[in-house]
Structure 1
Amino acid sequence: MENYYGEIAGIGTAVCWTATSMFFEAAGKRIGSLSVNLIRLFMAFFLLGTVTWITRGYFLPLDATSYNLTWLALSGLIGFTIGDLLLFQAFVVVGARISMLIMALAPPVAAIAGWIILGEAMTTKGLLGMMITLTGIMMVVLNRPAKEQNGKKPKLRDWFENPLGLLLAFGGAAGQAVGLVLSKKGMENYDVIASTHIRVMAGAIGFMIVFTFMRRWRRVFSALKDKKGMLFTSGGAFFGPFLGVTLSLVAVKFTSAGIAQTLTSLVPVIIILPSVFIFKERVTPREVLGAFVAVAGVAMFFI
């Protein structure tokens, strides 16, 4: 099992992303998604700093080299700030369903970026496992109900009539994938939690600049007064930029970027269980089949 630290961490990341997506959905409905994004990074900053202070004696990553700082900060800006902003705008333009479908391109983008930037080459078995897993994910995503504001169910061809929305969604996928690859390049043998801390700090600074430019600070201060919103955001911050991002760096450290990104993209499949048992939603046979296909693809990484 020691040979599969990266794969196990990748699945753990997807579990954390599933939890954080539910927390942030609830928080976003109360205080807005942009405010949630910035506040979650501040919360994660203090959580990560506390852990590194206890374990390493540093609240800030003062022992990081300039090489670590440069690449990890760039990773945080691309992954947290640019990627998230593009993805959230895609949600507005083309909706969450088609955006999540385009996000399924993140693993192959990560594999290509890993090959170009890190010189990583995936095995034939790894590529096959990636394709099977992504097929299962797309089966689940395409089966989710989606309605326009007028109550009519949109047709797939209608979604592709908005190239801007598709580009925004692809930008979100590429930002997430390239950010993960750059984090592996910048981390090297440096501490994983401290590396996450650097990424979070860079992402927070990026969002602060965006909020200043957009004049959104008043909304952030107003959001801080919403106790339930802050409670949901705290849960999302713990499972997201604190635990989830840390596990994603463990994943990419011990396996290839393409495999790590594939495993962390399992959220649409994993979220089926809480949807059924917690939210009492109905699951179609196609979603169940897609889940089994995705699991079969994941199993290939362990064979």
Structure 2
Amino acid sequence: MENYTGEIAALFTAICWSITATSFEYAGKKIGSLALNIIRLFMAFIFLGLFTWITRGLILPVDASLDTWIWLGLSGVVGFVMGDLFLFEAFVRIGSRISMLIMASVPPITAVLSFFILGEWMSVSQIIGMTITILGIAIVILVKGDHKGNIKLSHPVKGILFAFGGALGQTLGLILSKFGMADYNAFAATHIRVITGILGFAIVFTVKKRWGSVARAFRQRKAMMVLTIGAIFGPFIGVSLSLVAIQHTNPGVASTIMAITPVLIIPFSIAVHKEKITLKEALGALLTVVGVGYIFMV
């Protein structure tokens, strides 16, 4: 029997990102995407330090090689600073559900770049599973634009572009992580990414003179509570599991499974916002599960 550690880690990553996307959309609208980014990384830095101290006896990843620091550091800058800055701005402008749909472009981008950069091939069955999964996500998220049944983009172009920027940042961040991590501890690797992400944002905040927005954010007590939940399930648990996923399976397969996040958001919408699920959403969710199952079983 094959070992599906990577695929299982990717599935739990998608669950974590469903929680964190909902949390960060709410918090970002209250305190702004820029302040949100650096605060959640500081929180993740603390959580990861405590966790690795308990599990590894090291509060900082001082046992990593220079090459590991360089590649994971680049991954942190590209993924956290560039990618997430774009993505969280998209959350604020067009919402988490549409943003996460656009993030579904990550798997094919990852697969193509993995082929050229890492030399990793994908089987026909994996490509079929990816296609089915992405189709299911599209069915859940896309809606009719008018009475003629046309699909219409009714969201700001800037928001759409920010979301695509987030997708590209996440793709490059995953590949750089895969290249630099090897068999290094995934949580310690995430710690390195978080540290370089904080340094990158510190430069952005200093240049833009935006440190005051961080101080103001702490006055929003409810937003900070929700942000904390997002930080736990996002850059702490979720990102670490995503590194476990790409460490044990093809990045294209891992990112496809992670891309079911828009479907997994539906139960949270029902529980929190009391939304009613439509037949289209149910069929899309079923199709997405079939696609993920196809990747697992074939």
TM-score normalised over the length of structure 1: 0.90
The 3-state SS of whatever aligns with 1:105 is: helix
**1:46 matched to 2:40:** no
1:93, distance to aligned residue in structure 2 (A): 6.5
40 and 89 in structure 1: CA distance in 2 versus 1, 3 angstrom threshold: closer
- Counterpart amino acid of 2:224? M
- Counterpart amino acid of 2:14? A
Range with bigger deviation, 87-96 or 131-140 = 87-96
1:244, distance to aligned residue in structure 2 (A): 0.3
| 8 A Cα contact 1:94 1:159, kept in partner | no
Aligned to 2:226: 232
Aligned to 2:170: 176
1:227, distance to aligned residue in structure 2 (A): 2.4
Aligned to 2:287: 293
- Counterpart amino acid of 2:106? A
Query: Distance in 2 between the 1:85 and 1:133 partners?
Result: 26
1:283, distance to aligned residue in structure 2 (A): 1.6
Query: Distance in 2 between the 1:203 and 1:175 partners?
Result: 13
| 8 A Cα contact 2:28 2:88, kept in partner | no
| 8 A Cα contact 2:13 2:241, kept in partner | yes
Within 5 A, what are the aligned runs for 1:95-106? 99-106=99-106
Aligned to 1:72: 72
212 and 182 in structure 1: CA distance in 2 versus 1, 3 angstrom threshold: same
131 and 191 in structure 1: CA distance in 2 versus 1, 3 angstrom threshold: same
12 and 93 in structure 1: CA distance in 2 versus 1, 3 angstrom threshold: closer
Identical-pair percentage: 52
Aligned to 1:276: 270
**1:55 matched to 2:55:** yes
166 and 26 in structure 1: CA distance in 2 versus 1, 3 angstrom threshold: closer
| 8 A Cα contact 1:109 1:178, kept in partner | no
Q: Which runs of 5+ in 1 are unaligned?
A: 147-154
290 and 98 in structure 1: CA distance in 2 versus 1, 3 angstrom threshold: same
Within 5 A, what are the aligned runs for 1:1-12? 3-12=3-12
1:160, distance to aligned residue in structure 2 (A): 9.3
Query: Distance in 2 between the 1:246 and 1:85 partners?
Result: 19
Query: Distance in 2 between the 1:88 and 1:23 partners?
Result: 11
TM-score normalised over the length of structure 2: 0.91
1:92, distance to aligned residue in structure 2 (A): 6.2
Q: Number of paired residues?
A: 294
The 3-state SS of whatever aligns with 1:281 is: coil
Aligned to 1:152: none
1:110, distance to aligned residue in structure 2 (A): 0.8
| 8 A Cα contact 2:270 2:277, kept in partner | yes
Within 5 A, what are the aligned runs for 1:260-271? 260-271=254-265
Within 5 A, what are the aligned runs for 1:62-141? 62-90=62-90, 99-141=99-141
Aligned to 2:237: 243
209 and 10 in structure 1: CA distance in 2 versus 1, 3 angstrom threshold: same
Query: Distance in 1 between the 2:15 and 2:101 partners?
Result: 19
**1:196 matched to 2:190:** yes
The 3-state SS of whatever aligns with 2:62 is: coil
3 and 75 in structure 1: CA distance in 2 versus 1, 3 angstrom threshold: same
| 8 A Cα contact 2:75 2:177, kept in partner | yes
Within 5 A, what are the aligned runs for 1:218-229? 218-229=212-223
97 and 241 in structure 1: CA distance in 2 versus 1, 3 angstrom threshold: closer
Query: Distance in 1 between the 2:95 and 2:243 partners?
Result: 29
| 8 A Cα contact 2:25 2:95, kept in partner | no
- Counterpart amino acid of 2:107? P
Deviations 1:113-158 (A, max 9, x none): 2112211111110000000000001111113x99xxxxxxxx7455
Deviations 1:203-246 (A, max 9, x none): 11111111222221101011123322221111111100000001
1:24, distance to aligned residue in structure 2 (A): 1.7
Query: Distance in 2 between the 1:230 and 1:277 partners?
Result: 21
- Which of 244, 249, 255 is the equivalent residue of 2:249? 255
Aligned to 1:209: 203
Query: Distance in 2 between the 1:265 and 1:44 partners?
Result: 22
86 and 277 in structure 1: CA distance in 2 versus 1, 3 angstrom threshold: closer
1:165, distance to aligned residue in structure 2 (A): 5.4
281 and 200 in structure 1: CA distance in 2 versus 1, 3 angstrom threshold: same
Deviations 1:46-71 (A, max 9, x none): 11011111222211111110110011
